[in-house]
Amino acid sequence: MCSVILPVFLLLAVPAQAAKVKLDPSHWGHPEGENCVSCHTKSSPGLAEQWRGSAHHQAGVNCMDCHQADPADADAITHEGQVISVIVSPKDCGRCHQTELDEQSGSVHAEAHAIISERVPALAHNLTGAAMQAAGCDQCHGSAVKVRGDGSLDPATWPNSGIGRINPDGSKGSCSSCHGRHAFSKAQAREPDACVRCHSGPDSPDKEVFEASKHGMIYKAQHEAMNLDADTWVAGQDYTAAPTCVTCHMGAAGKVPSTHDVGMRNAWSLNTPVSVQQYLVVFEDGDKLELPADQKPPKRGTELTKADGTTGKVKVVAGPDRRRKIMSMVCLECHGKNFTESFMDQFDAVVALYNGKFGEPAAAIMQGLYEQGLLTPLPFDEPLEFTYWELWHDEGARARHGAAMASPNHAWWEGMYLVGRNFYSRFLPQARAVAGDAAGELIDPVLAASDHHRWQSSPDAANPILGWSPLPALEPGPSEALGDADQSGKAPQARVESQVAEPQTAAPMTEAAPASEGSGND
């Protein structure tokens, strides 16, 4: 139990504000820095002007303070008589910003490259081509930057500021992904636009979801009151107008401190075929790993394989309930306890619905088809694999993110509606076609295992949503009861058809009918 509670205690024990730089100012203000500024003012004036407006310039930190390198560094080059590195890595930033480096190291951002490394060949290479990895995947997830024999950086891996970039010095991440170089603005990093460069599109549709949510609507209307340039930025104290991505996932709020570990507060995985609640494992070296909560949590000192394939010893473990508690404490700065708990219940219910009705059955069907050799192991060489991928990776992720971030349109029309439509109209028919005679063994039992799909067993249940429903039954007339023609001389069915086909003619008005009780123009 202590191993689960400890991370929360640590989180609550530090001040709810950005860490102060502890490095003595005598360590910056490199004498060659003025020469850099003088030259770059002519060759790249925009870059120099960004630096002049930065907090670095105000503090006396210049180009050489950040770019200076040791001749033994893998990416060290000689430039205008000085040994520098083009890349300023998190390790370099950590000389002054140690707390932020410690929080960022091992976070889901820092491991963004490792997380997708196994997917890249099938997506970027097979479906399109290797050029797309550098221009697409790596620009968000980061690349493993390679140094060529002449000391220059391989253009297949540079430039990029992907959040999980693996730098030549071995550090992971890119501070400039959020704090754009060379201004390194706090305000910029607090803006939703700092996140939506990567968190948009099918698998992480947070830009669209946030903008369509009540939070996004209020943020746009109250942007001028957000106090984005403040030294401290505590929700409920320094600003109250609206939340941003940073507010919920990183920002300080009440007793909750700010952090550069953006995944600390996420109780669910939302970008997987089936969502699971997660433990957050913190290793002794600061790296982190998420494990499904249906497994037994590892004990302190246990050795586990980390996301990058290396081995680490477990220091502490935070359970999904603790992670949810931290996120809820942020919500409570602006919402009541009942409101917050009820919202979380609604979110959890949507995730459970997706899992039980679509995610788990689809995964079980696909697993059966692979095991029986009816699908090849090669990804995306069969239409069903595209359908399944889009079902959970695109539509399913959008539905779950919509519920998590309070966008009803994305939870429903852009999300779960598309999941349901494509599950029934594309996925199941394609899966049955692939299964052939084995459909009764591989598909039907999966669908029959729950009540979610029972509605399809009643094809005669009418509903006018598609513009048609059976005609209502008519009360039989006196002669119809005897099986004869009615007084009009028509058989009962003919009378029904006549009512449908022949418009009724209004009777001529002879005199005004008396007003009924209670009528009038009131």
**What percent of the chain is predicted at pLDDT more than 70?**
87
pLDDT digits (tens, 9 = 90+) for 439-462: 999 999 999 999 999 999 999 888
For residues 234 and 507, give the distance between their C-alpha atoms in angstroms, rounded to a whole number: 74
Nearest by Cα to 184 from 287, 63, 42: 63
C-alpha torsion 70→71→76→81, nearest 10: 100
φ, ψ for residue 283, nearest 5 deg:
-90, 165
pLDDT digits (tens, 9 = 90+) for 15-49: 445 576 777 777 889 999 999 999 999 999 999 99
Residue entry with tokens 């996120």: 327
Beta strands 234-235 and 252-253 are parallel
- Model confidence at 501, pLDDT cuts 50, 70, 90, reads very low
pTM of the model: 0.85
pLDDT at 259 over 70: yes
Helix/strand/coil percentages in the chain, nearest 5: 50, 10, 45
Beta strands 288-292 and 76-79 are unpaired
Task: Say whether 316 sits in a helix, a strand or coil.
Answer: strand
Name the least confident of 17-26, 115-124, 305-314: 17-26
pLDDT digits (tens, 9 = 90+) for 192-214: 999 999 999 998 999 999 999 99
Secondary structure of 210-246 as H, E, C letters: HHHCHHHHHHHHCHHHCCCCCCCCEECCCECCCCCHH
Contact 216, 226 (CB under 8 A): no
Task: Say whether 109 sits in a helix, a strand or coil.
Answer: coil
Beta strand segments in 9-146, E: 76-79, 82-85
For residues 449 and 439, give the distance between their C-alpha atoms in angstroms, rounded to a whole number: 15
